Structure 1
Amino acid sequence: MNSNKYLTPKEIVAELDKYIIGQGDAKRNVAIALRNRWRRMNVKSEMQSEIVPNNILMIGATGVGKTEIARRLAKIANAPFTKVEASKFTEVGYVGRDVESMVRDLVEQSVNMVKSEKKEEVKLRAEQIVEDIILDALIPPMRTNGVSKSTSEENSDAEPKSEQELNERTRERFREKIRNGELEDRKIDINVQKPAGSGIGMIGGGAMDESSMINLQEMIGNMMPKKSKKRKVTIAEARKILIDEESQKLIDMDEVKETAIRRAENTGIIFIDEIDKIAKSGGQKSGADVSREGVQRDLLPIVEGSAINTKYGIIKSDHILFIAAGAFHVAKPSDLIPELQGRFPIRVELENLTKDDFFHILMEPKNALTKQYMALLESEEVELTFQEDALDEIAQTAFDINAEVENIGARRLHTVMSRLLNEFLFDVPDKIGPNAKIVITRELVKEKLSGLVKNKDLSEFIL
């Protein structure tokens, strides 16, 4: 593996800073965890298999950036990533999703990633094949009957040859038109393969979860003969459908599965949200607490490292990085069973967002809400700008509402911004036409959001 492909911890934190404000401690820990993966892969001795990732437990209120840190980390690493909610799982033997399904989801993500990469590799070849299929649908090639030339060449050869040449010239002319995009709206007939298993009802029941049912459905579909049907579509649509079909034929699915499982095993990240919901709160145990403890015990072998059977093959979870997160308002991390606590050695407490954090969230990230609204109105040729003191007022309002009602972190900004810009978004383009300029000032913010903090009935702001 080339170290140039992998960022240093400092560079990883710098990348995360582009999208997430604050939470330096959490960023440092996930950056170290990611870099340690590259370090492990470059260990030459048998020690490589002994080095396991240090799983992370993030503790913080909703909307402080727990999920976003994990999601951005996976994008930086170009690693398979899946997010699950611990509260959705049920103990083995009960109806519902079992904990192994999260590993199956991870493998599915990994297969899709590898498949996309392989399709990109064969795209050029697939495009050439598709071009010929479209051309054949427009101008079928002339069939040669294989009749040998007669001795009287002047009589027998001249006419068939001219017809053949005419057909070839017409085909080349149309090939140029296809390449130049002149025939995109022309309709043609193409044969499209029916998806495997179409027409088979959903099979399952008992303790099977949804993904297991779909896998069984797919297996039965694959055992049945492939069927195709004729469709009349435009050349533009035909190109999309056929490129996907031809790319699928060109890639080696066995190689895709093998690569995907290896990638999921060595670089996969599983984010378990709401882990506090399966912790028992207080000393007394109710029936629900016993069930939650069962889910925790089911999690143990997977987080520790075990072999899980998936439709693509067996995957070992020993080197998958697990990041768990929870608000822990009612329960405490110590309420998790001791064995599970030990599987998450790194604990990070994320801080609640301050008014200054809100201000920076509106200003700095690449995907800042202000930039999103600017882009939305720019599509209607309307220029939207925010004065700095206006952003300061928005940040203060969001902070005050969080303090007054439920603290939902940065998500509060979505509600406040929606309320602030609601009228403008409605008036464009009927009342506010193209080339107009909208400037958001502190006075305007106060006018639109006046009395919100003072008003105790803030039900519309509770998401």
Structure 2
Amino acid sequence: MESAFSLTPKQIVAELDKYIIGQKDAKKNVAIALRNRVRRMMVKSDIQKDIVPNNILMIGSTGVGKTEIARRLAKVAQAPFTKVEASKFTEVGYVGRDVESMVRDLVEQAVHLVREVKNEGVKAKAAEAVEEIILDILIPPVKGAGFRQNTVPAGEVEEPESDTELNERTRERFREKLRNGDLDDRKVEINVKASSSVGVGMIGNGMLDDASMAGLQDMISGMMPKKTKKRKLSIAEARKVLLEEEVSKLIDFDEVKEEAIKLAENNGIIFIDEIDKIASKSGKNGGGPDVSREGVQRDLLPIVEGSSVNTKYGVINTDHILFIAAGAFHVSKPSDLIPELQGRFPIRVELNSLTQEDFSRILREPKNALTKQYQALFEAEQVFLEFNDEAIEEIARLAFLINQEVENIGARRLHTVMSHLLNDFLFEVPDTIEPNSQIMVTKEMVQDRLSTLVKNRDLSQYIL
């Protein structure tokens, strides 16, 4: 995949098309939002800092692809991404998560992404250092230079060879064996860092927030003496343990934190799901639960508008984070959100309900299609699963029918149907169905295995 900075809106949509069927309007809007970030970074004048992202509100029933669009967009953008459910947040004074925690989660993701990139950059150098450590354990280097005389046939002159040279030759032979994996099972004893994390407790209602507490804990841990302990591991395992330690030595973590904050501020995406659950129902002005819902909205507002949030890695500004909110809005409407919050989501996209034809395409086309996932599971046991076209059409028809008759849970219904269809086969492999067998799923098999599922009107046990 190309760099996110080189992708045009059409190319972004093409990337999303590999995993998500339909929903062209939603894909188009998120592609524009992503490309606008690149455009903002290219603006040379002072107006750059005033260009804020157009946050998006996606409206659609469950299982139509809202979450998948946001998650895939983050992967295309190679950006830190976090998903939260608005219903998990509560107004200050109620029990629940603090709204600022979603920004802290985003920064954690950014740190992870930056650290991964840095790790790749120093891995080769770290691997060389690990090789030397293991060689030092196997063949300790000789200190000082002595000479070793060998008897040679008369008439031949031998150059005296030092112990150092012999040691180097032996080390080189062992180095070659290490690289070839010949010594991977051999046990060695290594020194590794012992965990020095310190738990900090506070009695009563402390005035420190989560970020301050985490920072205090890190500071106390840093003051504690670094301890090591001996572990006896195979060379293959020791190489992994030592590689992590050597990589961390080569990386400047202060630089990682700075880059992560910058990445989260300029490229971060926060997906707020179930935002309809905190919308106050139309026509209700009383107290009770609606007060708490509105309180959550007012707590979310400054984060979405743009504010500074304290994290254990530093202060992050949320002005240019892209917020994508989503909700089914079956009971409430977007207009039931407080006006200030509505204004922070200027782009509204209504996602279409999935048709029978969409189900058929979902089973065939995406790179991670459910049929391909099951084929991979069977192939892991050397059993080959095939679906003919009529079978796929029948699976799509039955999934669509059950959604209409019971409850519409969108594409998630396909998981129910496929599980009911193939679970017996998965149970029989490899005891009864032996390796190199082939299973062909036909229309008749689908009808036979799913007939009870369709006839039984009370499908509560199968609803995901």
TM-score, normalized by length of structure 1? Answer: 0.93
Residue 41 (structure 1) aligned with residue 41 (structure 2)? yes
| Alpha-carbon shift at residue 161 of structure 1 (Å) | 5.7
Residue 252 (structure 1) aligns with: 252
Q: Give the conservation status (yes or no) of the 8 Å contact 1:353–1:410.
A: yes
Distance in 2 of aligned mates of 1:5 and 1:65: 25
Q: Give the conservation status (yes or no) of the 8 Å contact 2:4–2:77.
A: no
Distance in 1 of aligned mates of 2:210 and 2:456: 45
Distance in 2 of aligned mates of 1:397 and 1:211: 50
Partner amino acid, structure 2, of 1:335: D
Residue 289 (structure 2) aligns with: 288
Partner amino acid, structure 1, of 2:307: S
Partner amino acid, structure 2, of 1:276: D
Partner amino acid, structure 2, of 1:402: N
Residue 103 (structure 2) aligns with: 103
| C-alpha spacing 1:317/1:240, structure 2 compared with 1 (3 Å) | same
Partner amino acid, structure 2, of 1:107: V
| Alpha-carbon shift at residue 209 of structure 1 (Å) | 7.8
SS in 2 for 1:231: strand
Partner amino acid, structure 1, of 2:23: Q
Deviations 1:394-448 (A, max 9, x none): 0111111111112111111111101101111111112111221110000000000
| C-alpha spacing 1:210/1:3, structure 2 compared with 1 (3 Å) | closer
Distance in 1 of aligned mates of 2:266 and 2:189: 45
Q: Give the conservation status (yes or no) of the 8 Å contact 1:296–1:340.
A: yes
Residue 70 (structure 1) aligns with: 70
Q: Give the conservation status (yes or no) of the 8 Å contact 2:188–2:233.
A: yes
Identity rate of aligned residues, in percent?
70
Residue 406 (structure 1) aligned with residue 407 (structure 2)? yes
Distance in 2 of aligned mates of 1:70 and 1:209: 30
| Alpha-carbon shift at residue 283 of structure 1 (Å) | 2.4
| Alpha-carbon shift at residue 166 of structure 1 (Å) | 2.7
**Correspondence 1:87-236 to 2 at 5 A:** 87-144=87-144, 162-197=162-197, 200=199, 206=205, 216-236=216-236
Q: Give the conservation status (yes or no) of the 8 Å contact 1:6–1:35.
A: no
TM-score, normalized by length of structure 2? Answer: 0.92
Q: Give the conservation status (yes or no) of the 8 Å contact 1:87–1:274.
A: yes
Segments of 5+ residues of structure 1 without an aligned counterpart are none
Distance in 2 of aligned mates of 1:54 and 1:118: 31
Deviations 1:351-375 (A, max 9, x none): 1111111100000000000001111
Aligned length: 453
| Alpha-carbon shift at residue 321 of structure 1 (Å) | 0.2
Residue 155 (structure 2) aligns with: none
| Alpha-carbon shift at residue 6 of structure 1 (Å) | 2.4
Distance in 2 of aligned mates of 1:167 and 1:202: 54
SS in 2 for 1:309: strand
Residue 439 (structure 1) aligned with residue 462 (structure 2)? no
Residue 52 (structure 2) aligns with: 52
Distance in 2 of aligned mates of 1:296 and 1:206: 25
Deviations 1:125-145 (A, max 9, x none): 00000000111111211222x
Deviations 1:290-317 (A, max 9, x none): 1121111111111111111111111111
Residue 350 (structure 1) aligns with: 351
Root-mean-square deviation (CA, aligned residues, Å) is 2.4
Residue 463 (structure 2) aligns with: 462
| Alpha-carbon shift at residue 203 of structure 1 (Å) | 6.1
| Alpha-carbon shift at residue 3 of structure 1 (Å) | 8.7
Residue 339 (structure 2) aligns with: 338
| Alpha-carbon shift at residue 28 of structure 1 (Å) | 0.5
SS in 2 for 1:20: coil
Distance in 2 of aligned mates of 1:136 and 1:376: 44
Q: Give the conservation status (yes or no) of the 8 Å contact 1:194–1:228.
A: yes
| C-alpha spacing 1:218/1:20, structure 2 compared with 1 (3 Å) | same
Q: Which moved more, 1:135-144 or 1:213-222?
A: 213-222
Distance in 2 of aligned mates of 1:352 and 1:330: 17
Partner amino acid, structure 2, of 1:380: E
Segments of 5+ residues of structure 2 without an aligned counterpart are 151-157
Q: Give the conservation status (yes or no) of the 8 Å contact 1:64–1:352.
A: yes
Q: Give the conservation status (yes or no) of the 8 Å contact 1:385–1:440.
A: yes
Distance in 2 of aligned mates of 1:203 and 1:76: 42
SS in 1 for 2:417: helix
Residue 19 (structure 1) aligns with: 19
Q: Give the conservation status (yes or no) of the 8 Å contact 2:74–2:269.
A: yes
Distance in 1 of aligned mates of 2:4 and 2:410: 36
